[in-house]
Chains A and B, each alone.
Chain A
């Protein structure tokens, strides 16, 4: 179901956590909320879930306002960062609880005596069958009688997913579900989650501080900062056309290179000591940002680069498939910039302290004004 968030604001005491956030998520979409910690992404997710009450604004699920509904009445499921499994219950009991709460009367739920209330056995059997089905689909069928403490991190994650799936919710909410796992498992589970999203076809809202998670999994990403949504777009859009310097810096590893341009005359700017052949009227300050793969060092590719200057290699990181070369660039003595060199591009040897020429093509560069907004430059 579609999820519409309309100018939702929220503050705790003096701190404004969400400032008039609006967001339209289509049915079946995988949308990630990313941003640095404290940007309000978790609060937004918890507001959708109904765990937090917004100060103003509305949340609609499938076109119906849910602001006055309890979390369980909103037809959403949530997976928590630390899974929040009930530690005293077995895997099967954990997964069964949402159904038990929904289908059994309070008398039937009573400990010890509940099983003697009429109808209990019938409901119990149907719940058990559904629990088994869900657990089988997540390869949990051999762990049904285990307690969460006896499970590995990845298994707990899957139990939390099973508990979220059993109610067949319209919207899945996930609050950094992979951040407690080790790196290898995290990458593996990314694929599982994407596959799960395809299979279930329901709306996923996924909170993470890890931009590479968001980039690899989402249909669209909303980048948040200080309670605002800076930009919403596909991973591709955010990478190539960031609306904002913060988005440009947040998306992509290694971080985008940002150069402060020097105003050489009104409407003319210089990159270090190289005059740029662009005009940019009415701008006091201008910054130029360049992805590491666009800062070129290869002599053969330098020919295509209109802008070139001298540089020094300060450090080389070998990542196997690629090298990250940290450079000081003429005109920016106190800063280090990064160039990404694919392994197959290393036709010439690189060494620390080596002097060389770097350059870039103007079409790859992004310009940001004094407020950090991206602007088009002639």
Chain B
């Protein structure tokens, strides 16, 4: 029997105990990433048996890919609309609802409904609402004297329309998170504020509510940005990428599963992942300094 020192024995036991979860972590998260990285250097096509190593040519193709650039721009625009509106709107609605007593749960359910409903099903409703001729939204526009719009066909309007649906989908979820954040603010802080003369709601918001919501806001910002970048279902169902309405995930889906260019799709996926990881890390690190954790 080997006489091992206690510390050695303990670290061996530790390694052994962490082995199962470590193995799972590698096989479920790290290995697929490595596969993705390897595929990016090949011309692999779905169903094709021979794979060739083609070096960086997939990467150089990205630089001249007009569709990819457009989808990147469209996605950025989408995120720039969805994140401020869904985060700011979610916070605003949470503030309105928070003080309600009897009606609060009613509002919570109403705003949360879009989160629970599947978009594929709701798409039909949106298609009807936004229909250029039959849709109620257009009839309202013509009623106030504006010309009717082809929301899901006009390239200048499409991304904004999709973003509107994105906000509709996300705002309830963000609101619930903000409501939790609001109920975690100690009541005494508001009482101390009342005694200190912080009476106006705007003062109260900037002196107590907003700073105390810091951690929640950071979390909601990061998750909303990720959700925004991952926009896919609305595009797939409502526009199918028609009239230059491609977004990143839809482009990847087209390249990989419709055109079978798995190698190229892998490169696009890598870029997508880099954007999300980079942005989340930047948001967290930059904002973390300003956020107070109580």
Interface residues of A (CB under 8 A from B): 46, 49-51, 70-72, 76-78, 80-82, 84-89, 97-98, 101-102, 106, 109, 111, 147, 149, 163
Contact = CB atoms under 8 A, between A and B. Distances in A.
Contact of A80 (B191, B214, B294): B191
A71 B194 contact: yes
A135 B214 CA distance: 28
A147 B200 CA distance: 25
Given A86-B207, A87-B292, A101 B196 contact: yes
A239 B229 CA distance: 72
A76 to B, nearest CB: 7
A84 B186 contact: yes
A106 B188 contact: no
Contacts of B188: 80-82, 84
Nearest to B292: A88
Scoring B186, B194, B200, B211 by chain A CB atoms within 10 A of each residue's CB, the highest score goes to: B194
B214 to A, nearest CB: 7
B194 A51 contact: yes
B151 to A, nearest CB: 37
B200 A106 contact: yes
A70 B202 CA distance: 17
B206 A72 contact: no
B219 to A, nearest CB: 17
A49 B194 CA distance: 10
9 contacts: A46-B191, A70-B194, A78-B195, A80-B188, A84-B192, A86-B193, A87-B211, A101-B199, A147-B292
Contacts of B207: 86, 97
B203 interface: yes
Top 5 closest pairs, chain A to chain B, by CB: A101-B197, A72-B197, A84-B188, A88-B211, A88-B292
B208 interface: yes
A244 B111 CA distance: 57
A111 B189 CA distance: 19
A305 B202 CA distance: 71
Contacts of B192: 78, 80, 84-86, 163
B186 A82 contact: yes
B198 interface: yes
Nearest to A147: B292
Contacts of A77: 195
A22 to B, nearest CB: 24
Interface of B: 186, 188-189, 191-200, 202-203, 206-208, 211-212, 214, 292, 294
Contacts of B292: 87-88, 147
A96 to B, nearest CB: 10
B206 A106 contact: no
Contacts of A147: 292
B194 A102 contact: no
Contacts of B294: 87, 149
Given A84-B186, A88-B211, A72 B191 contact: no
Contact of A86 (B200, B202, B208): B208
A149 B294 CA distance: 8
Given A88-B292, A109-B203, A76 B189 contact: no
B208 to A, nearest CB: 7
A85 B192 CA distance: 8
Contacts of B203: 101, 106, 109
B285 to A, nearest CB: 19
Contact of B211 (A49, A86, A102, A163): A86
B294 to A, nearest CB: 5
A51 B199 CA distance: 12
Given A86-B189, A86-B207, A101-B203, A72 B196 contact: yes
B189 A72 contact: no
Contacts of B208: 86
A17 B12 CA distance: 62
B216 to A, nearest CB: 13
Scoring A51, A81, A82, A111 by chain B CB atoms within 10 A of each residue's CB, the highest score goes to: A51
Contacts of A88: 211-212, 214, 292
Scoring B188, B202, B206, B211 by chain A CB atoms within 10 A of each residue's CB, the highest score goes to: B188
B199 A84 contact: no
A314 to B, nearest CB: 44
B199 A97 contact: no
Given A51-B195, A106-B200, 19 more contacts: A49-B191, A50-B194, A71-B195, A72-B195, A77-B195, A78-B191, A80-B192, A84-B186, A84-B192, A86-B192, A88-B214, A88-B292, A89-B211, A97-B207, A98-B195, A101-B198, A101-B199, A101-B203, A149-B294
Nearest to B194: A71
A265 B212 CA distance: 70
A372 B211 CA distance: 52
B199 A70 contact: yes
A98 B197 contact: yes
B195 A49 contact: yes
A74 to B, nearest CB: 9
Contacts of A84: 186, 188-189, 191-192
B195 A76 contact: yes
Scoring A78, A82, A149 by chain B CB atoms within 10 A of each residue's CB, the highest score goes to: A78
A111 B205 CA distance: 11
A89 to B, nearest CB: 8
A152 to B, nearest CB: 17
B214 A97 contact: no
Contacts of A70: 194, 199
Nearest to B291: A88
A11 to B, nearest CB: 18
Nearest to B211: A88
Contact of A72 (B186, B194, B214): B194
